[in-house]
């Protein structure tokens, strides 16, 4: 997740007040505040493609897509995060006294970046699946190659997993089918092996 922007802990109220005045977004984890890095053209394009594809299919349903400016709370004031794309079904459930933090996401998409991938796969997903009981699907989208990893909550409460490298990702919980060709529209992947790419 990177290095906290400040070397002291914030209360939730301090964080939310600070965030209202900030020109950039920050995530909050157990009192520490982390500035969100700028995104690559590929990251931005994939996010836009997801909003278009998912949002179009959800028109007329009880579900809607939310922009990455809507915060999601996971846990008792433990994690305030800005998912890349959030799907919320039904009426919003806000943090008391707020209109910019929900606690009832249904589907969360994260487009992976080198600086945040470990956090997105690890602690962030742990918080979401433990504390957000409405969450049915957690979907990680690579920007290095055509690959979508789909974690989904099964009727037993256990989480299942599938990965898709071509064709269609079926998100059954929201009756949404995503063609990878559309998710990765206008993305040009390197012609040489990924192991030869040096991350900066």
Spatial distance between the Cα atoms of 153 and 49, rounded to a whole number of angstroms: 24
Q: What is the pLDDT of residue 37?
A: 81
pLDDT tens track for 64-97: 999 999 999 999 889 999 999 999 999 999 999 9
Contact 83/107 with Cβ under 8 angstroms? no
* 151 touches 120 (CB < 8 A): no
Q: What is the DSSP string of 24-47?
A: S-EEEETTEEEEPPP--HHHHHHH
- In the prediction, which pLDDT does 172 show? 98
* Residue recorded with tokens 């991938």: 117
Distance of alpha carbon 36 from alpha carbon 145, whole angstroms: 23
Please, which pLDDT band fits residue 18 given cuts at 50, 70 and 90? very high
Note whether 164 and 180 are within 8 A (CB).
yes
Residues 161, 31: Cα–Cα separation, whole Å: 31
Would you place residue 8 in the very low, low, confident or very high pLDDT band (cuts 50, 70, 90)? confident
Q: Closest Cα to residue 102, out of 94, 91, 113?
A: 94
pLDDT given for residue 196 in this prediction = 45
Report pLDDT digits (tens) over 131-167.
999 999 999 999 999 999 999 999 999 999 999 999 9
What confidence tens digit (pLDDT) does each residue in 163-185 have? 999 999 999 999 999 999 999 99
- How does residue 190 score in pLDDT terms, banded at 50, 70 and 90? confident
- 41: Cβ contacts below 8 Å, ≥ 6 apart: none
**Does the domain at residues 39-189 carry the CATH identifier 3.40.50.720?**
no
DSSP 115: T
Confidence category of residue 98, pLDDT binned at 50, 70, 90: very high
The per-residue pLDDT for 3 is 62
**For 22-48, how does the pLDDT look when each residue is reduced to its tens digit (9 = 90+)?**
999 999 999 999 999 888 999 999 999
Give the position of tokens 């071509």: 166
State the pTM of this model.
0.92
Q: Determine which helix (DSSP H) or strand (DSSP E) holds 86, and give its type and residue range.
A: strand 85-89
């Amino acid at each position: 997740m990177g290095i906290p922007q400040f070397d002291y802990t914030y209360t939730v109220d301090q964080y939310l007040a600070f965030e209202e005045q900030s020109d950039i977004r920050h995530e909050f984890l157990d009192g520490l505040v982390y500035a969100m890095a700028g995104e690559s053209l590929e990251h931005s394009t994939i996010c836009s493609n997801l909003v278009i594809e998912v949002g179009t299919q959800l028109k007329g349903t009880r579900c809607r897509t939310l922009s990455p400016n809507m915060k999601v709370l996971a846990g008792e004031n433990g994690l305030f995060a800005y998912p890349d794309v959030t799907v919320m079904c039904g009426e919003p459930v806000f943090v008391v006294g707020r209109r910019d933090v929900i606690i009832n996401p249904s589907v969360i998409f994260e487009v992976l970046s080198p600086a945040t991938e470990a956090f997105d796969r690890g602690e962030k997903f742990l918080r979401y699946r433990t504390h957000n009981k409405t969450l049915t699907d957690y979907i990680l989208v690579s920007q290095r190659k055509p690959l979508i990893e789909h974690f989904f909550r099964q009727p037993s409460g256990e989480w299942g997993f599938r990965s898709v490298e071509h064709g269609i990702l079926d998100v059954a919980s929201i009756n949404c089918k995503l063609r990878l060709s559309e998710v990765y529209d206008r993305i040009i992947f390197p012609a040489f092996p990924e192991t030869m790419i040096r991350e900066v």
